Each structure stands twice: as C-alpha cells, then as structure tokens.
Structure 1
Amino acid sequence: MPDEYVKLPGMSIASLIDPITAAGGPANLSQADAWMQGRTLYGGALGLVAYTAAIRAFPDLPPLRAAQIGFIAPIGGEIELRREIVRQGRNVAQVRSEIWVGGQCALTAMWLFGTAREPNAVHPSARPEDWPGGPEGAEPVMVDAGPAFIRNNFELRRAQEERGPGAPVVRRWARLTERDVLDPISELILMGDVLPPGAMRAMQRQGPVSSINWSFNLLGTAPATRDGWWLSENASQHADEGYSSERLRLWNADGQQVLDAMQAAAIFG
C-alpha cells in the first residue's frame, strides 16, 4: 500500500461495527470523529451500522436484495439501535433498523432480504458507457484532499477525463484500504455512497452537499471484483431548487454492475 494510504490511528472499519451487538440498544462508536462528514457520520458508514444491527439481531435472514435508507438528523458516537422484523414470508423478509440519538430517530432503514427462486426473467445489466479501462494504471485522486475518512479508508483513482465544472457525472475507481474486515455485501454498503453528488459539477458556487436518502438494489448475492476495485458513478438526473436527483451505480473491475441506486441530495450554497 502506498505511504499516502497508511491508516491513521482511530480510523478502522472495525470501530464502526464492533460496538454493535445482537441485543441492540445503546452503543458507543468511540471513533466516530474519524468518520465524520460535516456534522454527521458519513452516509455509507451509517448504512453499514444499520445493516450490521439488522443481521446481528436476525442472523438467519436470506440474502439482502434491496434497501431504503433515510438520513433524518446528524449522528455522532452515542447512539441507540432499534430493529424489528416487519414481515417475514416464505421467500422475502423485510426488516426495519433505526438509529436514535437523544430520544429522536435520526436514521431509518428498510432492508429487503429474499431467497433465490427459479427465474422467470433473465436480463443482464449493461456494461458502463465509455469504459475507462482497468484501475491498475489510473491516476490517484483525493490523496491530500477531502474528509479524513476518505483519505484514510478509501483509495480513489480517476475514471473519467472530465475535471472541474461540466456534465453532472462523477466517476472514480474506489477500494477500501482494509479489505479483510467486511463480508462482500457490507463492503458494498460502505462503498456505495463514497462519491459526492454528480450535481457538484453543475454547481454555480462552492457550497456543501448532503445526502437525504439512499435506495439501492443489489444485482447479485455474491459480489466480487479484482484487487478490491469497484467503479463508482454518481450522476445527477435533475437538479433545481436546492435538490438533486442522483443515480448511483457500482461495477466490478470487469464491468459487471453489482449495485443500482437512487438518492436525493441537498445542494446548499
């Protein structure tokens, strides 16, 4: 690992999930400051915490297929975890997990788990347009810029020629600096929200941006890639009146799509 990606103390992924128990209730994310994005924890980290709370409480669930996450209020280190099975049918289980702070719900997530069935429709996802080539020789980015949790937990490389203002699309190769901690689904949840909104490229003035929600579908139950690299893309479909509708996608290093998502982002400034 290059020197610029050596992890600083207090940055570990384990610090996010080790405090989470099957019993739920109060938890102390003692290293939360290392994962802050503005006033709250990074959205992918919050999604990982909520997902871990669900699967540790109910370990016999079928594979995860989809999720809907609402980011309601800022979240720091002292939290309370609540989770329940909303409905469990023959093939599909729906689980709600929530993160509470100061007696108020600060995040709510619905997780859809489903067993595989004999397919009645088969349609593979398309390869990404303008394939950038593999990540191996791509230029590193965000080495000395951006939030600390990005610099110390993710390695990013350029996957598009565009720089600065332009078409509202942000595309990067991304991988975790720790790749032996999480199962593949948890890794995608932590990775899926790593880029800023595509609307960033269309902003007329510099200003903060913030995720409001995140809804995603997984396109398989055993995602895999080469050397930990995923191609991440955020593209604004429409932006106006302080909000952007974003499509988020992840592909593996061979161009197979593994996650398809939508997000509403607040565009300030």
Structure 2
Amino acid sequence: MIGGLFIVRGRKNKMNFDDLINGFRSEEIGALTMDAPQSWAQGRTLYGGLSAALCHVSAMASAEIDKPLRSAVIAFVGPSSGQLTGSAEIMRQGKSTIMMDAVLHGEKGIGTKALLIYGNARDSKLNQSDLAAPQVDAPEDCPSLWGDRKAANFARNFELRRAGGLTPMGGNERGDMLVWVRHATEASVDDTAALFALADVLPPACFTMMSEGAPISTVTWSLEFLMPEVEVANNWFLMKSVAEHTADGYSSQAMYVWDRQGRPVIAARQNVTVFY
C-alpha cells in the first residue's frame, strides 16, 4: 500500500466477498489491479453496500485503527464504475475516537464518499435500548424474497427470506420490508465490511408501493453501529426498512438490523431518489 491508495479494475467473473476484500487491500503493489466482478454490479455502478465497505477497508489500511466503527455517513456521488481507486485520510484523532475521510473514485470522478468514526467504549451509567427485534418465523421457515423473480446481480451474493412486511412491487399504500438476510458464502475477513455489504442489500422500502419496476438510486446513507463485535460469516440477520415519507421523487426511510439473537446491530437512514 502506498499513500492509502488502492486500485480495482472491472471484470465479469464471479468473486466471493472475502476474496474481493483481500484483493482490494493487498499490500502487493502489482496486485492492486484487482478486478471488480460484474456479479457485484448494481446497474451501471458497483453495488452501494460494497462501495461503502471498500471505503471502510481503505480507512483501515490508511491508519492504525484499533477501535470499532461507531458511525458512518455515506454519499453516493456518482457511478463507481470502470477502474476504481480508494483512498482515506485522518480528519481528527483523539484518545478514544478517530474520524476518517474515505473516497472511492470511478473513471468519471468521485463515486462514493464516506465519513467514518471509530471509537472505543467508555464507562457510562446509561444502558438503554428501545430497539426490540420484531417477532418473526425462523429464516428456514420463510420464503425467498424474490420468489420466481430474477434478483439483481449483486443480490445473488446474498440469501434473502421474507419474514413479514409487504410484497415488492405490490402496489401497496406504504413501504415496509422485513427480511432475513445472510451472505451466500461465508464473509469472515472483515466483519464491519461484511456488515456494510449486507445492510444495503434490500430494495428501498418504497419498492413495495410500486406496481412495476422503475429506477431507484440511494443518495445518502447514515449508519450507527450498535454492537462493537459482530460475527457475520454466513449468519442470518433480520432487516427492517420503512419508508417514512415519499414525495416529489424522493423517499426517506428508516432501516434496522438485528442478529439472530434479537440484538440490535445497526440503526440507519437513507435518502432515495425514485423515478416512478
């Protein structure tokens, strides 16, 4: 690694998550022409969850960070396509926290920009949570989210089981999705990166309000990581996404992730553009 700079070049063959992350953060300079598989594409860009994950990996490789990620703000500025480069720098570092600025460039400029805050736990008299997991059937007893539909390229790297909520493209009056999700292959090389990838896999909640497909694009994504240690591997996680306000071609949605034991893992929000 030189100056926190990493390079990815596109190709069409399939690559599992761990191999992709290992290739991206390789310290062999000649190997930093790692291919970004078409199997992780989301339309004309790299899948957003993976783009955010690569920003985190760039940050971890650019500074000595021994703290868990606590918060992230992601802006999807433009398409992360063609040859990609990731870079990161320290914005501020204190005794317990470090704030990183990470960028993923595509061939046409900035693709994804991330503000990442890593922080140690501190002693506190407060311990409270109102994020109880919904009561749902086990993932093994839930049907596939997609049914007979063909999933997008990137979504085939995950297994999704509908646990409740509403049907995608069901023409419903509100947007509400409740889905069990896991990586299709074990993702263990970087749990935080694996969580980023997993936490963005659901279609926007307003997708359940549509009666037919239409372009949808996430603009911003803010996440709060509630558990400092999470083993992702190919474990199941329950995800809930609710469209709280949809108008004028934009949808504001709240998103939550719990582990299989019902513990809250992520609380997040997205602003989504809707061409419908």
TM range (shorter): 0.7 to 0.9
1:53 counterpart (54, 58, 75): 58
Q: CA deviation at 1:233?
A: 1.4
Matched, 1:38 2:43: yes
- Would the aligned equivalents of 2:55 and 2:104 in 1 still touch at CA under 8 Å? yes
Distance 1:189 1:33 in 2: 19
Q: Which amino acid aligns with 1:137?
A: D
1:108–1:226 distance in 2 versus 1, CA, 3 Å: closer
Matched, 1:147 2:160: no
Matched, 1:85 2:90: yes
> Deviation string for 1:132-189 (max 9, x for gaps)?
12212211233651212212x1011111163223231111101001124333222211
1:189 counterpart (178, 196, 199): 196
Q: CA deviation at 1:213?
A: 1.1
Distance 1:149 1:112 in 2: 27
Matched, 1:100 2:102: no
- Would the aligned equivalents of 2:76 and 2:220 in 1 still touch at CA under 8 Å? yes
**What secondary structure, in the 3-state scheme, does the structure 1 residue paired with 2:193 have?**
helix
> Deviation string for 1:209-255 (max 9, x for gaps)?
11111100011101247960001111111000000001111011122
**What secondary structure, in the 3-state scheme, does the structure 1 residue paired with 2:100 have?**
strand
Distance 1:213 1:220 in 2: 22
- Would the aligned equivalents of 2:49 and 2:200 in 1 still touch at CA under 8 Å? yes
Q: CA deviation at 1:126?
A: 2.5
Give the share of equivalent positions with the same residue, in percent. Answer: 27
- Would the aligned equivalents of 1:96 and 1:111 in 2 still touch at CA under 8 Å? yes
**What secondary structure, in the 3-state scheme, does the structure 2 residue paired with 1:16 have?**
helix
Aligned partner of 1:115 in structure 2 is 120
Matched, 1:127 2:138: no
Give the alignment of 1:231-246 within 5 angstroms: 231-246=238-253
Instruction: Tell me whether 171-180 or 100-109 shows the greater mean CA deviation.
Output: 100-109
Distance 1:32 1:53 in 2: 18
- Would the aligned equivalents of 2:18 and 2:187 in 1 still touch at CA under 8 Å? no
Using structure 1 for the length normalisation, give the TM-score. 0.88
Q: CA deviation at 1:260?
A: 0.2
**What secondary structure, in the 3-state scheme, does the structure 2 residue paired with 1:264 have?**
strand
- Would the aligned equivalents of 1:168 and 1:235 in 2 still touch at CA under 8 Å? yes
Aligned partner of 1:165 in structure 2 is 171
Q: CA deviation at 1:27?
A: 4.9
Q: Which amino acid aligns with 2:259?
A: N
**What secondary structure, in the 3-state scheme, does the structure 1 residue paired with 2:253 have?**
strand
**What secondary structure, in the 3-state scheme, does the structure 1 residue paired with 2:24 have?**
coil
Give the alignment of 1:176-215 within 5 angstroms: 176-203=183-210, 206-215=213-222
The unaligned stretches of length 5 or more in structure 2 are 1-11
Q: CA deviation at 1:92?
A: 1.1
1:132–1:81 distance in 2 versus 1, CA, 3 Å: same
> Deviation string for 1:2-37 (max 9, x for gaps)?
xxxxxx95231135321234699x954413322111
- Would the aligned equivalents of 1:15 and 1:30 in 2 still touch at CA under 8 Å? no
RMSD: 2.4
